Amino acid sequence: MTARKDVQVGGTLREALGEVADAWDRAAAGKRVRPTDRTVFVSWSVLASVMTDKRQALIAYLRTHPTPSIRAVARALERGYKRVHEDLTALAAVGLVTHEGGLWRADYDEISAVLKVKAAT
């Protein structure tokens, strides 16, 4: 089975809060709530500013090589520490990489993006 990270482009904070409130109400009523792990970007340009080619390569590396330190990642990718630190910080801030158990990692095989084209109501 392929592990997938879901990314949504578009939508509003109001919509996101509505989804959380709905899940909360369902759980409170004893209904089953399916967990979701989705990263939402408000626009394509915001996603593009986060997901650069270098960051995509960084994610691919961490998928197969969970690594304990930023310095080790920088050495393996033959990149500067400062830039790798910036990239990991940006990717972690939006949930595309994690630093858990002492390892930097990306625990998915693909990123699936949905681009909403319907105007928010």
Q: Which residues pair with 25 in a beta bridge?
A: none
pLDDT of residue 35: 75
CA–CA distance from 11 to each of 45, 59, 118 (Å)?
Answer: 14, 25, 9
Total H helices, total E strands in the chain: 5, 5
pLDDT of residue 121: 54
* 4-115 is a CATH 1.10.10.10 domain: yes
Q: Are the C-beta atoms of residues 15 and 119 closer than 8 Å to each other?
A: no
The average confidence (pLDDT) of the chain is: 88
pLDDT in tens, 42-86: 888 888 888 999 999 999 999 999 999 999 999 999 999 999 999
Q: Where are the domains positioned within the chain?
A: 4-115
Q: Which residue, 92, 67, 94, 71, is CA-closest to 83? A: 71
pTM value is 0.76
Average the pLDDT over 31-37 and give the result.
82
Tokens standing for residue 103:
């390892």
Q: Would you say the C-alpha torsion 73, 60, 44, 13 has a positive or negative sign?
A: negative
Q: Which residue, 41, 61, 49, 34, is CA-closest to 115? A: 41
